[in-house]
Structure 1
């Protein structure tokens, strides 16, 4: 955070200097008027110059107590004329007080005070027999003009300060909005990385775990089946290689995807229906019979032209996670994958004949939550629950414009 204490000190010193100069100017103008003695009355220099000094000193506190300065100035002028001191007018000694009060948001009070003083002064001087032509034709007009200009300048200064503060508030709100957007973008990126790492590695680790368990059973004492154990360990090695390959692809994509990713780039390039055949083969090797049907992927080798990259990747991830959950939790013997492309959407349905719902159905794990997040990101819908004929079913509808 920048340190503004130095600038505040400089602006404070500058304000004191300005107020001191303004006070001296008020004193000088009033003193000159007293010395000129335009009205020709009996001068009382000591008292009159004391009033001039008081009017000037009030400028030193005009920023802290603008209304007090306005009221005291008004009372001083009324008292000044009551004791019959030399004529100094109203406009010049009142102008600084009016400006100060108006610049600090007391415009209505300044207008009221100015009108009241002008009316009282003009009426009293008219009753004293002064020339009405001079009072109304010259002095009233000039006094009103000077007072009005002082009030207008003060109000303009207040409006400029308010505008500056408003711009500062807008800039601060804009900064906070940018920070919030950056934090939200970072959170989305972290969630995306977590989903992709989970999807890239989770399936292969599930396969490794299953084959390792089977190999362990084949090597149990008293029932050693080296051929079966060797076959299972080959599946373990294959799944490990594929998992490592996917992990490397994911890391490379993360390093090259930047902060925003992309609809058809970044992490999503490591997944797609073109790899569905490999996914199905690894699931079948784990002992789950898988049937693939539909008009968008006959065994995963056919990817319709024009299929958006993010839709393609999302469909693949849904199938991958659904089959992984089936291997982990469903105790199923077979699963069916149905991928159909309609005019405006890609529909993916994975059904198994198992008896258990996925563990994260009750808030544990990341499988269903990750699928829902993925499908929601492309403005699609996902349903997961018990299938009508038994088992578990995952159904996703992904709009073809989802990566727009």
Structure 2
């Protein structure tokens, strides 16, 4: 299958593909400093090698052009790793074919093939090294008779083993670096995914908080607004009481919404006011009474862990709100039982239901179930045989952390 070229007539994707974990920034980065250091080292080292190998051809302008070309190609090793791997091999093959001295010229091949392996182009790196080794075998054992320098002798096969060992070592180091970088990339992706998951969970928590606050308060406001409108002309004093209740409920709702939004604007900061708990149950009963619902409490709220305390308060708040909105009964019973390892809450009303969501399919009951599940507890909600409705919550007092949070 042929590779598709890049739009605009550029090189194919396999030719220019950079490391898969680096993104666009890794492919467009220009390694000026490292390339400059390699160029200086290769030129200076080859000049020193020329003096120490008098039997080889001395460096001339052609040799220096090959050394410079092989080094400068490394500038593109992040953008075109395949092309750089084969380009450096070509420069070294021409250099060796000219009979010039052995030296740090092989460093350019090592870096070019190393970059290709790290970029995920292993086949290109191994192929380039194979081409270099095959060319070196031909030059050192056959073509040397017709290539400079004159009266050259073929290399012993032991030298070829050393060259092959060097190439395998370069490839092995590159494979190790590629494996390590891919592992780092996976770890970084997992951390990003975990952070995103925590952010999603926090947004869901905030959404539940806002729903619980607004659903309860707006239900009270809606009931009292209807009372006020009905009694505005016939009983202005009772209408004034309804408006007072609306003002108090809206003020409390605004305060709790502001608290939730403050935690969104300043992540990590502690909220200005403590989270609500069962210590505010009398206030909740009073708000329900202002909406025309009489609440009977059976049991004493115990001291609870903060998370369980907040969940218990929100469950009772949502259950009583549903009675106000979806039940024809004006009386509700709340039963609180504190066991050794769990808190049981039961809210009953005598019905009958007055809305389509009275059967437990609304967002409020779904939010209660999510709260309970987050603590390892359960919520059961449904109609009673006698025509009323019941919400039963079991909240464990020792919260077991989720598997993802360990």
Taking the aligned partners of 1:303 and 1:385, their CA distance within structure 2 comes to 24
Partner of 1:322: 319
Taking the aligned partners of 1:383 and 1:150, their CA distance within structure 2 comes to 68
Q: Is 1:292–1:336's contact at 8 Å kept on the other side of the alignment?
A: yes
Residue 375 (str. 1) matches residue 386 (str. 2)? no
Which secondary structure state, in structure 1, belongs to the residue aligned with residue 398 of structure 2?
Answer: coil
Identify if the C-alpha distance between structure 1 residues 395 and 209 changes in structure 2 by more than 3 Å, giving closer, same or farther: farther
Give a deviation string over 1:98-125, Cα, whole Å, max 9, x none: 5355434425753674377358735888
Give a deviation string over 1:68-123, Cα, whole Å, max 9, x none: 44256436645x5xxxxxx756x438634653554344257536743773587358
Taking the aligned partners of 2:317 and 2:107, their CA distance within structure 1 comes to 79
Any runs of at least 4 consecutive aligned residues in structure 1 with deviations exceeding 6 A, and if so which? 123-126, 255-258, 362-365
Q: Is 1:351–1:394's contact at 8 Å kept on the other side of the alignment?
A: yes
Q: Is 1:101–1:110's contact at 8 Å kept on the other side of the alignment?
A: no
Residue ranges of structure 1 left out of the alignment (5+ in a row): 81-86, 220-225
Partner of 1:292: 297
Residue ranges of structure 2 left out of the alignment (5+ in a row): 1-24, 75-82, 118-124, 146-150, 402-406
Partner of 2:256: 250
Q: What is the deviation of 1:390?
A: 0.8
Taking the aligned partners of 2:267 and 2:134, their CA distance within structure 1 comes to 64
Mapping 1:114-129, distance limit 5 Å: 114=133, 117-118=136-137, 121=140
Q: Which has the larger radius of gyration?
A: 1
Taking the aligned partners of 1:391 and 1:356, their CA distance within structure 2 comes to 8
Identify if the C-alpha distance between structure 1 residues 179 and 279 changes in structure 2 by more than 3 Å, giving closer, same or farther: closer
Of 281, 284, 303, the residue aligned with 2:301 is 303
Partner of 1:388: 385
Identify if the C-alpha distance between structure 1 residues 26 and 107 changes in structure 2 by more than 3 Å, giving closer, same or farther: farther
The alignment yields a C-alpha RMSD, in angstroms, of 5.0
Identify if the C-alpha distance between structure 1 residues 367 and 24 changes in structure 2 by more than 3 Å, giving closer, same or farther: closer
Number of residue pairs aligned between Structure 1 and Structure 2: 354
Taking the aligned partners of 1:8 and 1:242, their CA distance within structure 2 comes to 61
Residue 190 (str. 1) matches residue 209 (str. 2)? no
Residue 276 (str. 1) matches residue 320 (str. 2)? no
Taking the aligned partners of 2:268 and 2:66, their CA distance within structure 1 comes to 65
Identify if the C-alpha distance between structure 1 residues 103 and 310 changes in structure 2 by more than 3 Å, giving closer, same or farther: closer
Q: What is the deviation of 1:194?
A: 0.8
Taking the aligned partners of 1:280 and 1:251, their CA distance within structure 2 comes to 20
Which secondary structure state, in structure 1, belongs to the residue aligned with residue 103 of structure 2?
Answer: helix
Partner of 1:239: 245
Name the structure where helix makes up a greater proportion of residues: 1
Partner of 1:331: 328
